[in-house]
């Protein structure tokens, strides 16, 4: 069971994004064939691909945080003298990102609730909008979990570098 949790922790976003991207690629290629060679276009393929692409983008947020590959503007020098200040600034930026994620999750929840009340659906497949918007709070809760993991790693590496003795040359 613990091994399964570790695998889920390591590959969850990659697995979901791969499934979605694979479905988009295969379905759109089939749609091109159907449209231009069989002259039989589908009304649903485009809507599903568009929805999955949006979900892919949002799932990229916790994936980028987890792998520490998100866009960053680095203005602080990477020298040893700035290392402790850098950790503090990184910590603060993670906290700000957590606050943003909480606010975004709450806004998405309210939007899902509003669309549930209205009963609005997508044009082609008639999927309730609240289902689509309802997945966003979960994605941003996952982002918060990934940010907390990054903070844990940041603090753990800081403790490790604090306990090292300076090398005399």
Interval 124-155: pLDDT, tens: 788 888 888 889 999 999 999 999 999 998 88
Q: pLDDT at position 108, please?
A: 93
- According to DSSP, the residues that pair with 121 across neighbouring strands are 128
Q: What is the pTM of this model?
A: 0.79
CB under 8 Å to 58, separation ≥6 — which residues?
Answer: 136, 139
Q: pLDDT at position 161, please?
A: 64
Distance CA 24, CA 6 (A): 28
Interval 68-93: pLDDT, tens: 887 776 666 667 777 777 788 888 88
- Taking phi over 0 as left and psi of -120 to 50 as alpha, with beta for the rest, 42 belongs to beta
Mean pLDDT, rounded, of the chain: 84
Q: 167 or 111, which is more confident?
A: 111
């Amino acid at each position: 069971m613990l091994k399964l949790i570790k695998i889920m922790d390591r590959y969850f976003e990659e697995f979901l994004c791969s499934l979605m991207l694979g479905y988009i690629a295969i379905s759109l290629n089939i749609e091109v064939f159907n449209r231009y060679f069989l002259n039989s276009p589908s009304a649903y393929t485009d809507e599903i691909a568009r929805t999955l692409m949006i979900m892919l983008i949002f799932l990229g947020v916790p994936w980028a945080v987890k792998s520490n590959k998100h866009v960053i503007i680095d203005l602080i020098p990477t020298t040893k003298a700035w290392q402790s200040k850098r950790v503090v600034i990184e910590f603060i930026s993670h906290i700000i990102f957590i606050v943003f994620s909480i606010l975004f999750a709450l806004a998405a929840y309210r939007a899902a609730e509003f669309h549930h009340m209205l009963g609005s659906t997508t044009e082609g497949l008639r999927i309730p909008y609240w289902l689509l918007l309802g997945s966003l709070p979960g994605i941003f809760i996952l982002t918060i979990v990934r940010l907390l993991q990054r903070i844990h790693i940041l603090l753990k590496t800081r403790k490790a570098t604090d306990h090292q003795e300076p090398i005399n040359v």
